[in-house]
Amino acid sequence: MNQIFPPRANTWARLSVYGVFGVAALFVLAALIYSRSPYPSFVQKSPAQPVPFSHALHIGLKIDCRYCHSAVETSASAGIPPTQTCMTCHSQVSTTNADLAPVRDSWQSGIPIAWNRVHDLGDFVYFNHSIHVAKGVGCSTCHGQVSQMSQIKQAQPLTMGWCLSCHRDPAQYLRPQSEIFNTDWVPPADQIAQGQALVQQNHIEVSKLQNCSICHR
């Protein structure tokens, strides 16, 4: 009796089964690589803003971070400056600059400027700026060298793994209080030794920093 399928059909059938599993394995591998890449965490995200505010320009004028982000030392949120803060300067400086028209309109109408959030943690994450500042974590550790950004962008992934890398070993990131708001600060050659001293000085209980309730409340 003649065979319906030639002998090589068995080989093709096996290869097709192996191919399905191979493609599935490649898909899973690609998904794992992507999930650990910077892309899903929006690193380098830099949404357009209603006013082209340049951190590089303002920091270059020696304006302290706390002048605009006034709650950073006392509150969970660093705070977004109200229009009044902008107008303390811009009622006298660049008063006819077209780019600043939204600031002047906000001042006259009393309607706040609708800034677009750049660093946006999930609602299930609790982050407190003031405790990080108090314990020796500087602005640029999380926000990057904003002194060089004409338009603010997300410099770090802000993922759970990235946060835990600091919570497991904070000594590598801590700096003196005098350098907290220095966006161009560079760790010294003996950073680990100085960081370990700051861990003790700032009463940081490293053993508790991986407790789930620290960030998820």
Per-residue pLDDT reduced to its tens digit, 67-115: 999 999 999 999 999 999 999 999 999 999 999 999 999 999 999 999 9
pLDDT band at 24 (very low <50, low <70, confident <90, very high): confident
Burial class, 104, CB count within 10 angstroms (exposed 0-12 / middle 13-18 / buried 19+): middle
Question: Which percentage of the chain shows pLDDT scores above 90?
Answer: 78
My answer on whether 106 and 30 are in the same domain is no
Q: Does residue 7 form part of some domain? A: no
pLDDT for 41: 57
My answer on whether 36 and 54 are in the same domain is no
pLDDT for 37: 58
My answer on whether 19 and 75 are in the same domain is no
Per-residue pLDDT reduced to its tens digit, 191-211: 999 999 999 999 999 999 999
Please compute, for residue 111, the number of CA atoms within 13 A of its CA located in the half-sphere on the CB side: 4
My answer on whether 132 and 144 are in the same domain is yes
pLDDT band at 1 (very low <50, low <70, confident <90, very high): very low
My answer on whether 210 and 131 are in the same domain is yes
Q: Does residue 9 form part of some domain? A: no
pLDDT band at 28 (very low <50, low <70, confident <90, very high): confident
Report the mean per-residue pLDDT for the chain: 90
My answer on whether 67 and 173 are in the same domain is yes
Among residues 171, 161, 156, 138, which one has the least CA distance to residue 210?
161
pLDDT for 16: 78
pLDDT for 20: 78
Inform me whether the pLDDT recorded for 33 exceeds 90.
Answer: no
Taking the mean position of all CA atoms in its chain, how far away is CA 1?
Answer: 71
pLDDT for 36: 60
- pTM to 2 decimals? 0.80
Burial class, 99, CB count within 10 angstroms (exposed 0-12 / middle 13-18 / buried 19+): exposed
Which residue range(s) make up the domain with 129?
Answer: 44-80+118-214
> Based on the structure, what is the number of domains in the chain?
3
Q: Tabulate helix, strand, coil % of the chain (nearest 5).
A: 50, 0, 50
Inform me whether the pLDDT recorded for 154 exceeds 70.
Answer: yes
Per-residue pLDDT reduced to its tens digit, 55-67: 999 999 999 999 9
pLDDT for 111: 97
Per-residue pLDDT reduced to its tens digit, 158-183: 999 999 999 999 999 999 999 999 99
My answer on whether 130 and 52 are in the same domain is yes
My answer on whether 128 and 209 are in the same domain is yes
CA distances from 63 to 30, 87, 122, 132, 133 (A): 45, 14, 30, 21, 18
103, 83 in Cβ contact below 8 A?
A: yes
Both tokens of residue 72? 């950073």
d(CA 46, CA 41): 13
